Amino acid sequence: MKAVGMTPQVSLLPAKLFKRPSLSGVVFPILSIFAGLVAWELSSLWFPPIFLPSPATTFWALVELARDGSLWASIVASTFRILAGWIAGVAVGIPLGMAMGYVGAIRKLCEPYIEFFRFVPPISFVTLAVIWLGPGDASKIALIFYTTVFAMTLNAIAGTVAVPEIRLRAAAALGAGRLATLLTVIVPSVVPHLVTGARIAMGNSFLTIVSAEIVASEVGLGALIWNARNYGRTDWVFAGILTLGCLGFLYDRILRAASSAALKRFGVNF
Protein backbone atom coordinates (compact mmCIF):
# COMPACT_ATOMS: atom_id res chain seq x y z
CA MET A 1 0.00 0.00 0.00
CA LYS A 2 1.48 3.33 -1.04
CA ALA A 3 1.64 6.02 1.60
CA VAL A 4 -0.45 9.09 0.88
CA GLY A 5 1.50 12.28 0.10
CA MET A 6 4.78 10.54 -0.61
CA THR A 7 6.50 11.06 -3.98
CA PRO A 8 8.01 7.91 -5.50
CA GLN A 9 11.76 8.36 -5.73
CA VAL A 10 12.20 5.77 -8.48
CA SER A 11 10.65 8.05 -11.10
CA LEU A 12 13.26 10.72 -10.34
CA LEU A 13 16.22 8.39 -10.71
CA PRO A 14 16.54 8.43 -14.55
CA ALA A 15 16.49 12.23 -14.64
CA LYS A 16 19.25 12.41 -12.04
CA LEU A 17 21.34 9.87 -13.88
CA PHE A 18 20.82 11.77 -17.12
CA LYS A 19 22.12 14.98 -15.58
CA ARG A 20 25.31 13.42 -14.25
CA PRO A 21 28.38 14.08 -16.40
CA SER A 22 29.26 10.85 -18.18
CA LEU A 23 32.54 9.71 -19.64
CA SER A 24 30.87 9.09 -22.99
CA GLY A 25 30.14 12.81 -23.30
CA VAL A 26 33.90 13.41 -23.49
CA VAL A 27 35.13 10.23 -25.13
CA PHE A 28 32.72 10.17 -28.07
CA PRO A 29 33.55 13.69 -29.33
CA ILE A 30 37.28 12.94 -29.04
CA LEU A 31 36.86 9.69 -30.95
CA SER A 32 34.82 11.48 -33.59
CA ILE A 33 37.50 14.15 -34.06
CA PHE A 34 40.21 11.51 -34.21
CA ALA A 35 38.27 9.54 -36.82
CA GLY A 36 37.84 12.70 -38.87
CA LEU A 37 41.57 13.43 -38.75
CA VAL A 38 42.37 9.87 -39.81
CA ALA A 39 39.94 10.12 -42.73
CA TRP A 40 41.47 13.46 -43.70
CA GLU A 41 45.01 12.04 -43.53
CA LEU A 42 44.11 9.00 -45.64
CA SER A 43 42.32 11.17 -48.20
CA SER A 44 45.32 13.50 -48.49
CA LEU A 45 47.50 10.54 -49.54
CA TRP A 46 45.56 10.28 -52.80
CA PHE A 47 45.87 13.94 -53.80
CA PRO A 48 48.70 16.46 -54.15
CA PRO A 49 49.09 19.05 -51.34
CA ILE A 50 47.90 21.87 -53.62
CA PHE A 51 44.54 20.08 -53.81
CA LEU A 52 44.22 18.59 -50.32
CA PRO A 53 46.93 19.29 -47.74
CA SER A 54 47.31 16.81 -44.90
CA PRO A 55 46.47 17.62 -41.26
CA ALA A 56 50.20 17.88 -40.48
CA THR A 57 50.76 20.31 -43.35
CA THR A 58 47.81 22.41 -42.17
CA PHE A 59 49.13 22.39 -38.61
CA TRP A 60 52.53 23.71 -39.70
CA ALA A 61 50.77 26.33 -41.80
CA LEU A 62 49.00 27.48 -38.63
CA VAL A 63 52.35 27.59 -36.84
CA GLU A 64 53.87 29.59 -39.69
CA LEU A 65 51.02 32.11 -39.72
CA ALA A 66 51.10 32.39 -35.94
CA ARG A 67 54.84 33.04 -35.87
CA ASP A 68 54.73 35.89 -38.36
CA GLY A 69 51.75 37.44 -36.55
CA SER A 70 49.33 37.37 -39.47
CA LEU A 71 47.09 34.77 -37.85
CA TRP A 72 46.66 36.73 -34.62
CA ALA A 73 46.09 40.00 -36.49
CA SER A 74 43.44 38.29 -38.62
CA ILE A 75 41.71 36.80 -35.58
CA VAL A 76 41.60 40.15 -33.79
CA ALA A 77 40.31 42.02 -36.84
CA SER A 78 37.62 39.47 -37.68
CA THR A 79 36.54 39.11 -34.05
CA PHE A 80 36.09 42.86 -33.69
CA ARG A 81 33.97 43.07 -36.84
CA ILE A 82 31.89 40.03 -35.93
CA LEU A 83 31.16 41.15 -32.38
CA ALA A 84 30.46 44.76 -33.35
CA GLY A 85 28.00 43.78 -36.07
CA TRP A 86 26.43 41.04 -33.96
CA ILE A 87 25.91 43.28 -30.93
CA ALA A 88 24.38 46.00 -33.11
CA GLY A 89 22.06 43.49 -34.78
CA VAL A 90 20.96 42.04 -31.45
CA ALA A 91 20.40 45.49 -29.95
CA VAL A 92 18.17 46.54 -32.86
CA GLY A 93 16.51 43.19 -33.62
CA ILE A 94 15.19 42.47 -30.11
CA PRO A 95 13.12 45.64 -29.58
CA LEU A 96 12.05 45.74 -33.23
CA GLY A 97 10.87 42.13 -33.20
CA MET A 98 9.07 42.45 -29.87
CA ALA A 99 7.38 45.65 -31.01
CA MET A 100 6.27 43.96 -34.24
CA GLY A 101 4.95 40.97 -32.34
CA TYR A 102 3.15 43.02 -29.69
CA VAL A 103 1.74 45.91 -31.72
CA GLY A 104 -0.14 44.92 -34.84
CA ALA A 105 0.25 48.31 -36.55
CA ILE A 106 4.05 48.22 -36.24
CA ARG A 107 4.10 44.69 -37.62
CA LYS A 108 2.01 45.65 -40.64
CA LEU A 109 4.27 48.62 -41.38
CA CYS A 110 7.60 46.79 -41.03
CA GLU A 111 6.75 43.30 -42.23
CA PRO A 112 7.01 44.03 -45.99
CA TYR A 113 10.57 45.29 -45.55
CA ILE A 114 11.56 42.42 -43.28
CA GLU A 115 10.13 39.84 -45.66
CA PHE A 116 11.86 41.45 -48.63
CA PHE A 117 15.35 42.09 -47.32
CA ARG A 118 15.77 38.88 -45.32
CA PHE A 119 15.82 36.96 -48.62
CA VAL A 120 18.52 39.18 -50.14
CA PRO A 121 21.94 37.71 -49.23
CA PRO A 122 24.44 40.10 -47.63
CA ILE A 123 27.06 39.34 -50.28
CA SER A 124 24.88 41.19 -52.80
CA PHE A 125 25.42 44.37 -50.79
CA VAL A 126 29.20 44.06 -50.53
CA THR A 127 29.92 46.46 -53.39
CA LEU A 128 27.38 49.00 -52.14
CA ALA A 129 28.73 48.77 -48.60
CA VAL A 130 32.24 49.56 -49.82
CA ILE A 131 30.98 52.47 -51.95
CA TRP A 132 28.81 53.93 -49.21
CA LEU A 133 30.94 53.23 -46.12
CA GLY A 134 34.43 52.78 -47.52
CA PRO A 135 36.79 49.81 -47.42
CA GLY A 136 37.34 50.02 -43.66
CA ASP A 137 35.69 48.24 -40.77
CA ALA A 138 32.39 50.13 -41.13
CA SER A 139 31.38 48.29 -44.30
CA LYS A 140 32.15 44.87 -42.78
CA ILE A 141 30.29 45.68 -39.56
CA ALA A 142 27.29 46.92 -41.56
CA LEU A 143 27.12 43.67 -43.53
CA ILE A 144 27.29 41.59 -40.36
CA PHE A 145 24.62 43.80 -38.79
CA TYR A 146 22.47 43.18 -41.86
CA THR A 147 22.72 39.40 -41.58
CA THR A 148 22.22 39.48 -37.79
CA VAL A 149 19.27 41.80 -37.35
CA PHE A 150 16.80 39.67 -39.32
CA ALA A 151 17.53 36.51 -37.35
CA MET A 152 16.97 38.38 -34.10
CA THR A 153 13.86 40.16 -35.35
CA LEU A 154 12.14 36.99 -36.57
CA ASN A 155 12.89 35.08 -33.36
CA ALA A 156 11.69 38.00 -31.25
CA ILE A 157 8.46 38.13 -33.27
CA ALA A 158 7.96 34.38 -32.92
CA GLY A 159 8.55 34.49 -29.17
CA THR A 160 6.22 37.43 -28.63
CA VAL A 161 3.40 35.93 -30.69
CA ALA A 162 3.80 32.57 -28.93
CA VAL A 163 3.08 33.98 -25.46
CA PRO A 164 0.03 32.08 -24.13
CA GLU A 165 -3.15 34.14 -24.28
CA ILE A 166 -4.08 33.04 -20.77
CA ARG A 167 -1.04 34.84 -19.37
CA LEU A 168 -1.98 38.05 -21.11
CA ARG A 169 -5.55 37.80 -19.84
CA ALA A 170 -4.36 37.09 -16.32
CA ALA A 171 -2.12 40.16 -16.40
CA ALA A 172 -5.00 42.28 -17.69
CA ALA A 173 -7.32 40.91 -14.99
CA LEU A 174 -4.79 41.95 -12.37
CA GLY A 175 -4.81 45.48 -13.74
CA ALA A 176 -1.51 45.44 -15.65
CA GLY A 177 -1.23 47.95 -18.47
CA ARG A 178 0.41 47.31 -21.85
CA LEU A 179 3.86 48.35 -20.62
CA ALA A 180 3.61 46.31 -17.42
CA THR A 181 2.38 43.30 -19.40
CA LEU A 182 5.30 43.67 -21.78
CA LEU A 183 7.88 43.80 -19.00
CA THR A 184 6.46 41.20 -16.62
CA VAL A 185 4.84 38.68 -18.97
CA ILE A 186 6.13 38.96 -22.53
CA VAL A 187 9.82 39.62 -21.87
CA PRO A 188 10.34 36.57 -19.59
CA SER A 189 8.42 34.37 -22.03
CA VAL A 190 10.37 35.47 -25.08
CA VAL A 191 13.87 35.07 -23.61
CA PRO A 192 14.40 31.48 -24.87
CA HIS A 193 13.55 32.59 -28.40
CA LEU A 194 16.01 35.47 -28.09
CA VAL A 195 18.77 33.09 -27.03
CA THR A 196 18.11 30.88 -30.05
CA GLY A 197 18.05 33.92 -32.32
CA ALA A 198 21.34 35.19 -30.88
CA ARG A 199 23.05 31.86 -31.56
CA ILE A 200 21.71 31.71 -35.10
CA ALA A 201 22.78 35.30 -35.65
CA MET A 202 26.28 34.49 -34.42
CA GLY A 203 26.52 31.70 -36.98
CA ASN A 204 25.30 34.03 -39.71
CA SER A 205 27.95 36.55 -38.70
CA PHE A 206 30.70 34.00 -39.31
CA LEU A 207 29.16 33.12 -42.66
CA THR A 208 29.19 36.78 -43.68
CA ILE A 209 32.63 37.82 -42.46
CA VAL A 210 34.48 35.87 -45.15
CA SER A 211 32.57 37.39 -48.05
CA ALA A 212 32.82 40.84 -46.46
CA GLU A 213 36.60 40.63 -46.01
CA ILE A 214 37.29 39.08 -49.40
CA VAL A 215 36.24 42.17 -51.34
CA ALA A 216 38.04 44.96 -49.54
CA SER A 217 40.23 44.03 -46.61
CA GLU A 218 43.91 43.50 -46.00
CA VAL A 219 43.57 41.95 -42.55
CA GLY A 220 41.08 39.32 -41.41
CA LEU A 221 40.48 35.61 -41.71
CA GLY A 222 38.49 36.10 -44.91
CA ALA A 223 41.30 38.17 -46.39
CA LEU A 224 43.83 35.55 -45.29
CA ILE A 225 41.89 32.80 -47.04
CA TRP A 226 41.44 34.87 -50.18
CA ASN A 227 45.05 36.08 -50.37
CA ALA A 228 46.35 32.53 -50.01
CA ARG A 229 45.43 31.95 -53.64
CA ASN A 230 48.10 34.45 -54.73
CA TYR A 231 50.78 32.20 -53.26
CA GLY A 232 49.21 28.87 -54.13
CA ARG A 233 49.02 28.03 -50.42
CA THR A 234 46.05 25.73 -50.01
CA ASP A 235 47.32 24.90 -46.54
CA TRP A 236 46.76 28.55 -45.56
CA VAL A 237 43.19 28.25 -46.80
CA PHE A 238 42.66 25.19 -44.62
CA ALA A 239 44.32 26.97 -41.70
CA GLY A 240 41.93 29.90 -42.05
CA ILE A 241 38.92 27.60 -42.30
CA LEU A 242 39.96 25.65 -39.19
CA THR A 243 40.48 28.89 -37.29
CA LEU A 244 37.03 30.14 -38.25
CA GLY A 245 35.45 26.88 -37.15
CA CYS A 246 37.26 26.83 -33.82
CA LEU A 247 36.43 30.47 -33.11
CA GLY A 248 32.79 29.89 -33.95
CA PHE A 249 32.67 26.85 -31.66
CA LEU A 250 34.32 28.82 -28.85
CA TYR A 251 32.06 31.87 -29.17
CA ASP A 252 28.94 29.70 -29.35
CA ARG A 253 29.94 27.89 -26.17
CA ILE A 254 30.59 31.19 -24.41
CA LEU A 255 27.22 32.52 -25.58
CA ARG A 256 25.51 29.33 -24.54
CA ALA A 257 27.04 29.42 -21.06
CA ALA A 258 26.10 33.08 -20.59
CA SER A 259 22.59 32.39 -21.88
CA SER A 260 22.15 29.44 -19.50
CA ALA A 261 23.08 31.61 -16.55
CA ALA A 262 20.62 34.28 -17.68
CA LEU A 263 17.82 31.80 -18.32
CA LYS A 264 18.12 30.34 -14.82
CA ARG A 265 16.76 33.62 -13.55
CA PHE A 266 13.58 32.88 -15.52
CA GLY A 267 13.43 29.24 -14.46
CA VAL A 268 14.25 27.89 -17.93
CA ASN A 269 16.79 25.13 -18.60
CA PHE A 270 18.81 25.57 -21.79
Query: 93: domain CATH number?
Result: 1.10.3720.10
Among residues 144, 167, 159, 162, the alpha carbon closest in space to that of 194 is found at 159
Q: Which residues of the chain have pLDDT under 70?
A: 1-25, 262, 265-270
| Residue ranges making up the domain that contains 129 | 75-264
Rounded-to-integer distance, Cα 97 and Cα 131, Å:
29
| Digit-coded pLDDT (tens) for 8-18 | 444 433 444 34
Q: What is the pTM of this model?
A: 0.82
**Burial tier of 85 (Cβ tally within 10 Å: 0-12, 13-18, 19+):** buried
Is residue 71 within 8 A of residue 62, CB to CB? The reply is: yes
CA-based max dimension of the chain: 81
**Residue 126 burial (CB count, 10 A):** 20
User: Does any domain span residue 185?
Assistant: yes
What local confidence, expressed as pLDDT, does residue 12 receive? 39
User: Does any domain span residue 34?
Assistant: no
Q: What radius of gyration do the chain's Cα atoms show?
A: 24
Sequence-ordered list of residues with C-beta below 8 angstroms from that of 173, at least 6 positions apart, any chain: none
What local confidence, expressed as pLDDT, does residue 268 receive? 57
Rounded-to-integer distance, Cα 143 and Cα 121, Å:
10
Q: Residue 52 belongs to what H/E stretch? A: none
What local confidence, expressed as pLDDT, does residue 136 receive? 87
User: Does any domain span residue 254?
Assistant: yes
Is residue 197 within 8 A of residue 154, CB to CB? The reply is: yes
- The total number of structural domains that make up the chain: 1
Rounded-to-integer distance, Cα 88 and Cα 154, Å:
16
| Digit-coded pLDDT (tens) for 259-270 | 877 677 656 555
What local confidence, expressed as pLDDT, does residue 8 receive? 42
User: Does any domain span residue 21?
Assistant: no
User: Does any domain span residue 150?
Assistant: yes
